[in-house]
Amino acid sequence: MATSEPSKSFLQQAKAWGEWLLTLMIESSVPPMGLATLIFAQHARPFQTVPMLFPPMLAFSCYLNLQGYKIDSAGTTAAFSGAYLVLAGRRRLGLMNKFGARGIIRGATQILALANVVAGGLAYGFGSRAKEDEKL
């Protein structure tokens, strides 16, 4: 007869989900490239120079991640995502512009940038370089 595992409390489930999400944000190159894609989509036409400096830096962060420097990649992603979040937060939009297609894309970009800041900052702050050096 198989014994069933005791059910997890809500806090244990939330912690496990948070750890999974943090691992996904650290180990994957999707979040920085997704942010770079959204930034490019917003600022390519008409071309805006300052915001367009961020997609190449986020692509470099993906390169670092693929080369095995996950902690450095997380720090780079967090730094540039935070800088873009500050830049994007300075824009003021009217109420009608917030709910159009462009407003929804802007909101999604800011949410993804905030997620990158939090996850990348935690990974960079609490990452173990000894474990990373063993893998290389």
Q: What is the pTM of this model?
A: 0.79
The pLDDT of 30-51, averaged and rounded, is 92
The residue extents of the domains of the chain are: 29-135
* Other C-beta atoms lying within 10 Å of the C-beta of residue 14: 11
- Indicate the range of 21-25, 103-107, 123-127 predicted with least confidence: 21-25
Query: For residue 52, is pLDDT > 90?
Result: yes
pLDDT above 80: residue 96: no
**CA distances to 5, 77, 135 from 58, in Å:** 42, 6, 23
